[in-house]
């Protein structure tokens, strides 16, 4: 599931977008200020950000600049006031990927979102590797050394989350969020169960463990 972060100080815009985009199958987080937006971006790893230019506190352009220092390719759509061509130009120069002017046409916004996400996906490499483990996210194949491994789609997504963040501890709630989506309200025990299954499959040939448990912190994908 793709994750979108909406940063807008106007709650009605936030709610409107959250409802509409959730309906379209995206996981949506809303932040009502630049500060909160930046911290949510750091926690949630959104695939795309929708950002209002005009906000009290840190304004949209500043937020954009800071988002970009963290991840220069993160797709960002700016929301601009109706008659503000200056803002638009400034925003684009600062590095926004696209802009949509208020009042928002949901259809237009949705089209821009799809196009940006498609472009961004095309840039992502198809092949993720760590040690002798290799996964091809296009062909949906996984192999450990010479051994082909078949995973269910959930196992695959879980492994992908790990492979996209090698050497980085991920706690269970982050994984729940990334793999199961925000609308999952069950126990974090599912993560344990699936990690167990993944390990079983990844180590079926007697290979060393790649998904390590860090008690009290989460799991890491790393050698040894």
Stretch that binds a second copy, among 34-42, 105-113, 174-182, 200-208 (CB under 8 A): 105-113
- For residue 187, the minimal CB distance to DNA (Å) is 5
| Stretch of 5-13, 23-31, 59-67, 140-148 lying at the interface with a second copy (CB under 8 A) | 140-148
Using CA atoms of 31, 37, 40, 41 in order, give the dihedral in degrees to the nearest 10. 130
Between helix 189-202 and helix 153-163 the angle, nearest 10°, is 90
> 186 to 215, contacts with DNA by CB under 7 A?
186-187, 189-190, 192-193, 195-196, 199, 213, 215
Least distance from C-beta 123 to a second copy, angstroms?
4
CA dihedral over 183, 186, 189, 194, signed as positive or negative: negative
Separation between Cα atoms, residue 54 and residue 52, nearest integer Å: 6
Task: Give the closest residue to 14 by CA, choosing from 38, 2, 32, 37.
Answer: 32
Residue of the chain from 58, 92, 154, 220 that contacts DNA (CB under 7 A): 154
* Binding residues for DNA (CB under 7 A): 152-155, 172, 180, 184, 186-187, 189-190, 192-193, 195-196, 199, 213, 215-218
């Amino acid at each position: 599931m793709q994750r979108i972060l909406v940063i807008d100080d106007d709650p009605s815009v936030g709610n409107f977008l959250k409802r509409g985009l959730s309906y379209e199958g995206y996981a949506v987080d809303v932040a009502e200020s630049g500060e909160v937006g930046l911290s949510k971006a750091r926690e949630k790893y959104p695939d795309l950000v929708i950002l209002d230019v005009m906000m009290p506190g840190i304004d949209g352009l500043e937020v954009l600049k800071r988002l970009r220092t963290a991840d220069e390719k993160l797709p960002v759509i700016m929301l601009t006031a109706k008659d503000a061509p200056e803002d638009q130009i400034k925003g684009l120069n600062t590095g926004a990927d696209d802009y949509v002017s208020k009042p928002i046409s949901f259809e237009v916004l949705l089209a821009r979102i799809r196009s940006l996400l498609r472009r961004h996906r095309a840039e992502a490499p198809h092949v993720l590797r760590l040690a002798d483990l290799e996964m091809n996210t296009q062909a949906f194949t996984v192999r450990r050394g010479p051994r082909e491994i078949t995973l269910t789609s959930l196992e695959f997504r879980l492994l992908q989350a790990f492979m996209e963040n090698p050497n980085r501890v991920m706690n269970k709630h982050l994984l729940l969020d990334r793999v199961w989506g925000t609308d999952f309200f069950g126990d974090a025990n599912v993560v344990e169960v699936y990690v167990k299954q993944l390990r079983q499959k990844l180590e079926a040939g007697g290979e060393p463990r790649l998904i390590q448990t860090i008690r009290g912190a989460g799991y890491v994908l790393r050698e040894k």
